[in-house]
Structure 1
């Protein structure tokens, strides 16, 4: 990989709902694990980070199609990992060629809803009287998403509060409140929502749909509750 690469222009900061764009191809390499890596001057692919998985999709032009399986960011450069549909193309790409970027819309929407559901949960937790809990680690992956909170919850409230959480979430979702995103200094973002803001989120809470409480467990320092969004996921949160 060229060590003189410039920082990648992050187009998803400019338009978080953009699913296709063009970029210039400056460099590629073969990773130690056998995956091919492409670096572009600009990207709409959101890297893994903030508790959220990366986008997937494709990078193509008339000469080749590259399947994007994973995206990571390091030192302001975004690396697109994957493979060429035709393996003979991997050494014949002209540097400086224009390529078309296409993000998998279904995965983008799923990631967006999962991440936004976590932030919606933060609001519900405060609204039902658990405002002493401080949001911590979040995991917005489909295979068992959760949010951890610092603070203890009394055992009896684990029995009484779940329905309140479910009703509060349903109310906020049904109201269809607008969801907005801002690019803020980290400290300000932490002050507002207990962590960094997502880079893209649904336009309204209606797009999050519903979730329902299904389980809880606790010890002296950990309260773990699991929620279910019936249409596609289970969402957990814990108070640590």
Structure 2
């Protein structure tokens, strides 16, 4: 197997709160779209996906005055691509990106925390739905981005109830935030993971796999590969700005406090 095709080890997968790490450079190149890119043997940068934006930050080459500003991170076939620009004091900076070089990764802390809070808030809404009489809605997808986060569900809500349900859901979510609760992450055999999720895992998860399960407080767990807060209280507060029902789908739009 070509070294460039070896899957990137996801360090954030095991430790969501790690913001600095060391890695080895696999390759530095110009991508098809013209952007400069790095592939490393491991990374703490979360790539865009799973309803969550990518991390940003820097990659510094050890013993070399070369810094790579990470502007976007994507994953393809298990390989993580770090896209950005080189910041150097001059000279032949490409020598600093030779294969095998040791690098230090720095994730932007403020962006990681915001993304983690938004992502956790989206999962928390799922946990609140049953308690406000919306348990018949089946989670479909989310968009946990700062410019318009929402969670989408299969099923509808009567137009006459949309406003009242938005208020109920907001009250329920803020009560949960106020009480707080530890957020834990576990990679488990399928059967154990299923039990942690109230005996039900999505059909897309293979039964011979070991899913990564996120558990928010005392609520049932859910499969997720993203980053999260360590305690629900870190979300601070939530505003359910709107609930829309259209074509058999319901969207819950939300914002979080600062």
| C-alpha distance in structure 1 between counterparts of 2:254 and 2:156, whole Å | 18
Deviations 1:98-140 (A, max 9, x none): 1110000011101101100000111111211110000011111
Q: Which moved more, 1:103-112 or 1:221-230?
A: 221-230
TM-score scaled by length of structure 1: 0.86
More displaced 10-residue stretch of structure 1: 103-112 or 152-161: 152-161
Contact 2:50 2:226 in 1 (8 A): no
TM-score between both structures, scaled by the size of structure 2:
0.81
For the structure 1 residues 132 and 90, does the alpha-carbon distance in structure 2 shift closer, same or farther, using more than 3 Å as the test? farther
SS of structure 1 residue aligned to 2:34: coil
Where structure 2 has 5 or more consecutive residues not aligned to the other structure, the ranges are 203-212, 214-219
* CA shift in 2, pair 1:76/1:89, >3 Å: farther
1:1-240 mapped onto 2 (5 Å cutoff): 3-5=2-4, 6-61=6-61, 62-63=63-64, 64-86=66-88, 89-93=92-96, 94-184=98-188, 188=194, 190=201, 196-219=223-246, 221-231=248-258
Secondary structure of the corresponding residue to residue 39 of structure 1: strand
Q: Secondary structure at the match of 2:170?
A: helix
1: distance between equivalents of 2:105 and 2:7? 18
139-148 or 175-184, larger mean C-alpha shift: 175-184
Number of residue pairs the alignment of both structures matches:
230
Once the two structures are overlaid, the 10-residue window that deviates more, 151-160 or 118-127, is 151-160
Deviation per residue, 1:188-237 (Å, 9 max, x gap): 46358796314321011111111123334434524344333243xxxxxx
Give the Cα–Cα distance (whole angstroms) in 1 for the partners of residues 21 and 115 of structure 2: 20
Answer whether contact 1:115 1:198 (CA < 8 A) is retained.
Answer: no
Which has the larger displacement, 173-182 or 193-202? 193-202
Instruction: Report SS of the residue matched to 1:172.
Output: helix
Indicate conservation of the 8 Å contact 2:154/2:250, yes or no: no
Give unmatched runs, 5+ long, in structure 1.
Answer: 232-240
The Cα RMSD (Å) is 2.3
The separation in 2 between residues aligned to 1:143 and 1:126, in whole angstroms, is: 27
Cα deviations across residues 31-77 of structure 1 (Å, max 9, x unaligned)? Answer: 12221111111111111110111111110024210001111111221
Instruction: Assess, with a 3 A threshold, how the Cα gap between structure 1 residues 34 and 89 changes in structure 2: closer, same or farther.
Output: farther
* Partner SS for 1:32: coil
